Amino acid sequence: MGIIPKVRNLDCLIDSDDIASAGISDGRPLPIIHAIGMDDLPARRATLSPAVAAWLDQTGFTAAAGELALLPGPHGIDAAWVGLGTLKNSQGHFTAFGDLPNKLPAGSIWAIADDLTGPERQSALLAFCLGAYRFTEYRAAKRPPARLRLPKDADQRSIELARAIWFARDLINRPANDLGPAELADAVRALGDHHHASVTIISGATLERDYPTVALVGNGADRAPCVAALDWTGPDASADAPLIALCGKGVVFDTGGNDIKPAGAMLRMKKDMAGAAILMGVAHAVMAAGLPIRLALRVGCVENAVSGRAMRPLDIVRTRSGRTVEIGNTDAEGRLVLCDLIDEVAALNPAVIIDAATLTGAARVALGPDLPALFCNNEEWAARMLAAGSHSGDPVWRLPLWQPYDSWLDSPVAEMNNVSSKPFAGAIVAALYLQRYVPGEIPWVHLDTFGWNDQSRPGRPEGADTQGLRCITAALCEHFR
């Protein structure tokens, strides 16, 4: 078994006090990264010496988005100009800086120019950190990324958000042989220890009694299921402060169970716990921000396997709520994991319930891999999430909780089925199943996300991805700050 993933430091950032120990001790100034818009290029070029301007011209630099030019100086490389294209806002800076750790000379150390505004600087810092992420547990990086001197005015929230995303990516990238249900629960415990939060692991007979559908999903595997429960109260929160409830699907590997997936469909199934990882990242960011709230994080830690103990199609289970559910498909296990968690936290009367899961392929068919499907029973929270996704650069797209489809979950032998008999609207039907466990007066947000990136992009290396993490964090921090 590998090391349990924990929130780690960002080794792509270096403090000014540590510059000398990194090998720069001769008094040379650090090279500076300048962000250049296409409209600004002529004026900025005019500030250069004729020789350097000629050098820039000969490189063909046009300040297109993400384009990079290294400018010479008396000590070697004096500066880097990175293009913003025509998008001179925080999103333009995110795109420009997200790939710099790979484009700048390996292991080099840089500083950000002082002329960036606060939001632009924070977006650039976050993008640089996310682009520098490497999963090196099993293989060393091919080249060390460039590093950045920590700006004196760095927003600690951006740094903690980057750490949250690294943490979630580490969890999602880890193979299932090293991240079983117990190890995922241990990661929740480590997160709680980091923030002095209370963590309880529920397993065995108690799990069977209190979370019967979580137990049903996980009983087919040799590695026992459990629920990890983290509870935290902010340092400035009163006893009656708003309670935020986060419920994550933590299926560490999904074979589909007895309705087994084809081999090709299993190739990414180590990421089926991405919903849990994303909300664990949100929990870190929220606790690091010291929001004046109470937080309840619940993670259903299971493996959906094939065995003589595994649930079967047409089995009937009585959920924590007392409702009976007929199993129409054992590969629709995520909603079974979540429904008991949602039912538990709903009894705590939270200000909002947020769940996240790699729940349906139908959401990916509708929206592709980049856009999580947002479902919400509250217009204010829906608007809040959409706005947060837009300005954080982590967009979500709302789909309807279309009530006429609710009857598609009817069963002739139980109160409901876990799937519809119709081949349509799979993401909507899954959301409608979960909505049955949410009291109507409690705001509820459901995010059906992908959790993976099939090709490297600025700030998003190939592999684990955390669609929805920045959006949820921004919505919570802005509303409850």
pLDDT at 118: 82
pTM of the shown model: 0.96
Catalytic residue among 294, 335, 364, 460: 335
> Do 146 and 184 belong together in one domain?
no
Active site residue 335: yes
Query: What count of Cα atoms within 13 Å lies in the side-chain half-sphere of residue 432?
Result: 22
Residue 164 falls inside a structural domain: no
Per-residue model confidence as pLDDT tens digits over 306-364 = 999 999 999 999 999 999 999 999 999 999 999 999 999 999 999 999 999 999 999 99
Active site residue 261: yes
Catalytic residue among 45, 261, 323, 398: 261
Residue 168 falls inside a structural domain: no
Looking up tokens 């008094």 gives 27
Separation CA 456–CA 39 (nearest Å): 28
Residue 474 falls inside a structural domain: yes
Domain residues for 133?
A: 13-154
> Do 293 and 418 belong together in one domain?
yes
154, 188, 217 — which closes off a domain? Answer: 154
> Do 108 and 213 belong together in one domain?
no
pLDDT at 391: 92
pLDDT at 25: 47
Residue 396 falls inside a structural domain: yes
Query: What count of Cα atoms within 13 Å lies in the side-chain half-sphere of residue 416?
Result: 24
CB count in 10 Å sphere of residue 219? 18
pLDDT at 8: 95
pLDDT beneath 50: ranges in the chain: 25
> Do 317 and 380 belong together in one domain?
yes
Paired sense of beta strands 452-453 and 373-376, if any: unpaired
pLDDT at 293: 98
124, 154, 184 — which closes off a domain? Answer: 154
Residue 471 falls inside a structural domain: yes
The amino acid present at 373, given as its one-letter code, is: A
> Do 338 and 421 belong together in one domain?
yes
> Do 296 and 415 belong together in one domain?
yes
154, 188, 204 — which closes off a domain? Answer: 154
Q: Phi and psi at residue 275, in whole multiples of 5°?
A: -60, -45
When divided into structural domains, the chain yields a total of 2
> Do 187 and 105 belong together in one domain?
no
CATH number at residue 106: 3.40.220.10
